[in-house]
Structure 1
Amino acid sequence: MRRIAALLCLLGLFACSSGPQEANPALWHVTDAQGHEGWLFGTIHSSDRPLAWRTPQVEVALARAEAILVEVGNLADEAEVAATFARLARTEGQPPLSQRVPTKDRPALAALLAKSGHADGDFAGMDTWAAALTLARSGAKEGDARNGVDRAVIAAAGGRPVVELEGAAMQLGLFDALPEKEQRDLLSAVVAEASVPDRDLSISWRKGDMATIERETRAGLLADPELRAVLFTGRNRSWTAKIAQALKSGRAPFVAVGAAHMAGPEGLLAMLAAQGFAVKRVE
């Protein structure tokens, strides 16, 4: 279960604390033909301990950046984000959760519900996607969103503009707009993941191990073509357009988003390169 929760954290789809843990996360320098520059920084959204992520290269990039681009700008306002979740998640009259998964998955769902302290009927007023995320969170390795790197990047912005690529309402709205079949596929993926041995992807993030992170973007819920199109490829395509605009405008953006979005041929790096930008990993 930690594996799917960690992947959701690396995707920025929800926020998953001894001294700070040393980290050497991945950072890329991006330029266009006119010499405009920017940086892409892969983040993680929570940690059980503070993270020492401001390496010398990251410090240089932050100092030179004129704008900060993030997925969600109000992460610190937990009440507002929770209210957005509650507003979108409610639909009265839903069937018990066990009726929303195939018969073969019902024993595993029952075990997951028992482990998380929920009953089958507890989600009668909640959309399937919201129930899936709730169960994924409850099975995740405990972490503190206050240690999340995105929040720290926003705090480091100072007086510079912080630009949202997505926002909480749009982010959660992606789930809310999924057809019921795909919401149930998401729930089934969470249930299936509960029986998989835990893997701590935060270790891969701290090492800047993009090969491992890329493999995770081809497994679990992202192996489902429809879910992948909405939660990964489609978001990357939308963000690439906004990042490219910020780069071409000469705003020298520092783009901080979940590290999984950088990975593979459908990641932000590949999409920017396909548009003619030069992308070079510097950390």
Structure 2
Amino acid sequence: MTSIRSGLAILLAGALWLTGCGALSDEGRTDWPAPSPALWHVTGPGGTEGWLFGTVHALPRGLDWRNPALDAALDQSSVLVVEIADLNDGDAASAAFMARARQPGLPPLSERVPPKDRPALREFMDRADMDDAELAGMESWAAGLLLANGARRHEPSQGVDRALLADAASVVGLESFAEQYDRFDRLTHDQQEKLLLGLANDVDGDRSDDHIVAWLTGDLQTLEHETGIGILADPDLRQALLTNRNLAWMDRIESLLTEGRRPFIAVGAAHMLGRDGLPALLEARGFTVARLQ
């Protein structure tokens, strides 16, 4: 049975996983299309420039996602900007998580959702090889993230973020593990229940490879559709876990651009979509944002 300790050993910052595109594909697939993931060039007064790139936090092993346009942008940039700079610091992630995850007096997890939803939750727990006893005292958001990571078929080590970090000489983070988990910890009881059930119904379900192909080919319309049917389809969760984070990042991103740092900003693909996405928010602040691919 999976323990809390081993679950934390592979625990992604929850918002990282939720706002990227999870990889659900069969590892044996080899007929992926040529890579051309969406990439934007940002310019402003006085020669200010940077790049925006939406990432995927877990991919099938061996999938080729880099191409000349992406490599050229990375070569021209001087700093990599990611959600969490110390993404590989498992001790820091675990400490931040455990400091917020527990609350005394909570009922068993399987009893926190309506009876009609309990079979789906029990199946989710079975897939993660965890039970009520192991999750005793865990707030629903925390239990949901542990279960989601336990039920995953693909490891986050195959994510784009980690590959970019491995090659970066200079890295800036937009937030900390503590700030990410604070956003979950502030969710209301009802919002946490929605998150838990949404994860139960969404993680590694019977979905096709369409979302991976859409990301790989820069098909933003399909990505927006995928985002609209998952966890982030709920307006309250979307505001708390996606939109508010974008808004919180904007001052830091603008400063990096205007200081001439030539940032390559690589965050979860969902952060690039729609009127609250980073391209639209930067345009609203007077920058010119042009799609490169």
Task: Using structure 1 for the length normalisation, give the TM-score.
Answer: 0.86
Other-structure match for 1:57: 69
Q: Report deviation, 1:49.
A: 0.7
Are residues 1:11 and 2:23 paired?
no
Counterpart Cα distance in 2 of 1:195 and 1:52: 21
Greater mean deviation of Cα atoms: 29-38 or 189-198:
189-198
- Correspondence list, 1:33-48, <5 A: 33-48=45-60
**Of 157, 176, 184, which aligns to 1:175?**
184
Are residues 1:111 and 2:123 paired?
yes
Greater mean deviation of Cα atoms: 147-156 or 230-239:
147-156
Counterpart Cα distance in 2 of 1:224 and 1:19: 32
- 1:78–1:268 CA distance, 2 compared to 1 (3 A): same
Q: Deviations over 1:41-100 (max 9, x none)?
A: 111112231443331111211111122111001112233323332332122332111221
Q: Is the 8 A contact 2:40 2:52 kept in 1?
A: yes
Q: Report deviation, 1:274.
A: 1.3
Counterpart Cα distance in 1 of 2:22 and 2:174: 15
Counterpart Cα distance in 1 of 2:223 and 2:269: 8
Counterpart Cα distance in 2 of 1:115 and 1:148: 22
Are residues 1:279 and 2:289 paired?
yes
Counterpart Cα distance in 1 of 2:147 and 2:234: 19
SS of the aligned residue for 2:42 comes to strand
- Correspondence list, 1:1-283, <5 A: 9=17, 11-12=19-20, 23-140=35-152, 142-158=153-169, 161-193=170-202, 197-200=206-209, 201-283=211-293
Q: Deviations over 1:147-201 (max 9, x none)?
A: 221112122222xx31111122211221112122211121122234369632343
Q: Give structure 1 stretches of 5+ with no counterpart.
A: 1-5
Counterpart Cα distance in 2 of 1:82 and 1:48: 25
Counterpart Cα distance in 1 of 2:53 and 2:182: 25
- 1:146–1:189 CA distance, 2 compared to 1 (3 A): closer
Q: Deviations over 1:12-34 (max 9, x none)?
A: 59999789976322110011133
Q: Is the 8 A contact 2:102 2:137 kept in 1?
A: yes
Other-structure match for 2:4: none
Equivalent residues, number? 275
Counterpart Cα distance in 2 of 1:205 and 1:65: 22
- 1:14–1:82 CA distance, 2 compared to 1 (3 A): farther
RMSD: 2.8
Counterpart Cα distance in 2 of 1:92 and 1:15: 35
- 1:163–1:13 CA distance, 2 compared to 1 (3 A): farther
Greater mean deviation of Cα atoms: 77-86 or 188-197:
188-197
Counterpart Cα distance in 2 of 1:184 and 1:97: 10
Task: Using structure 2 for the length normalisation, give the TM-score.
Answer: 0.84
Counterpart Cα distance in 1 of 2:203 and 2:262: 42
Residue type of the alignment partner of 1:184: E
Q: Deviations over 1:209-248 (max 9, x none)?
A: 2211111222232122211111111011112222122111
Q: Report deviation, 1:256.
A: 0.6
Over the matched positions of the two proteins, sequence identity in percent amounts to: 44
Counterpart Cα distance in 1 of 2:122 and 2:99: 27
Q: Is the 8 A contact 1:12 1:44 kept in 2?
A: yes
Q: Deviations over 1:99-149 (max 9, x none)?
A: 211222112222322333232343222111011112222333x22222221
SS of the aligned residue for 1:122 comes to coil
